[in-house]
Amino acid sequence: MQIKIINTSLTNYPIMKRHASAGMDLRANIAVAITLKPLERAIIKTGLFLELPVGFEAQVRPEAD
């Protein structure tokens, strides 16, 4: 399967850091660090645009340690 990706950020494309990873690690496309308070939410842009086939989805989840 091929997925079209446009990267408008200043960071590299997402990569799999570990051999057994279930997903890829995203990077924020921000100029300064953002600190969130407990339970606070924010939209963090990645600069990535994906064209997914019908019936597929992309998810963003926190990394488990």
Q: And the tokens for 46?
A: 């990645």
**Tell me, what's the pLDDT at 43?**
92
**Tell me, what's the pLDDT at 40?**
95
> Per residue of the chain (65 residues), what is the pLDDT tens digit?
788 889 999 888 777 777 777 778 788 899 899 999 999 999 989 899 999 999 999 888 877 65
**CA count, 13 A, side-chain hemisphere, 45:** 10
**pTM of the prediction?**
0.66
Q: Fill in the DSSP letter of residue 62.
A: P
Dmax over CA atoms of the chain, in Å, equals 39
Look at the block and give the residue holding tokens 């997903």: 23
- What is the rounded distance in angstroms from the CA atom of residue 44 to the CA atom of residue 17? 21
Q: Are 29 and 10 in contact (CB under 8 A)?
A: yes
Domain range summary for the chain, segments of one domain joined by +: 1-65
